[in-house]
Amino acid sequence: MALIVVCYLASPALAKADAVYTFTDVNEYSWSFQVPGLITTIITITTFLSTNVVPGSIEEGGGIGSAVIDSVTITPQGFSPHVFTVFLVGIGGTGSANAEFFPLTAFGTFSAVDPFGNPITLTISPSLSTPEPASLYCLSPGY
């Protein structure tokens, strides 16, 4: 006697694709966040999956104070699509960095170079969320 079970997830119709934005400025800082879909209008993010400011980096204050990433504003399209990161520096100041890219309206990896010659990348990738129980169909021939 054999029991055959087939499970099927109807991906486009029943699965929800979130978007994960991951930014890296090599030797300087990085951050990542997840949103319910591709960003199509200007938005400011203050909750992150991860952040990192490299000790001794320009953004960190060159070693004179620790820094944290406060917010990121994404301008995905228009005259100057860009990513604007705001830092809070432990010595009581703030700092910011701007990275310009091509329109950021699709999944993919976008590259640039910062003013110091460091490579910058922004990757926008889909992240399939866990399907709702009603989205998962299991069929058994009933042996």
> pLDDT of 38-89, one tens digit each?
999 999 999 999 999 888 887 766 666 678 899 999 988 888 888 889 888 8
Q: Cα(15)–Cα(130) distance, rounded to whole angstroms? A: 8
Please give the Cα distance from 15 to 52 (Å, whole number): 31
- Which candidate, 74, 111, 1, 76, places its Cα nearest to that of 85? 74
107 inside domain: yes
Domain assignment of residue 117, yes or no: yes
Determine, yes or no, domain membership for 5. no
Look at the chain and report how many structural domains it folds into. Answer: 1
Residue 20 has pLDDT above 50, yes or no: yes
Asked if 20 and 127 touch (Cβ cutoff 8 Å), the reply is: yes
| Domain of residue 64, residue span | 17-132
pTM exceeds cut of 0.75: no
In a domain, 72, yes or no: yes
| 1 lies in some domain | no
| C-alpha span between 111 and 135 (Å, rounded) | 37
pLDDT at 11 over 50: no
Please check whether residue 6 lies inside any domain of the structure: no
Using the structure block, give the residue that is written with the tokens 């890296």: 24
Tens digit of each residue's pLDDT (9 = 90 or more) over 114-125 = 888 889 999 999
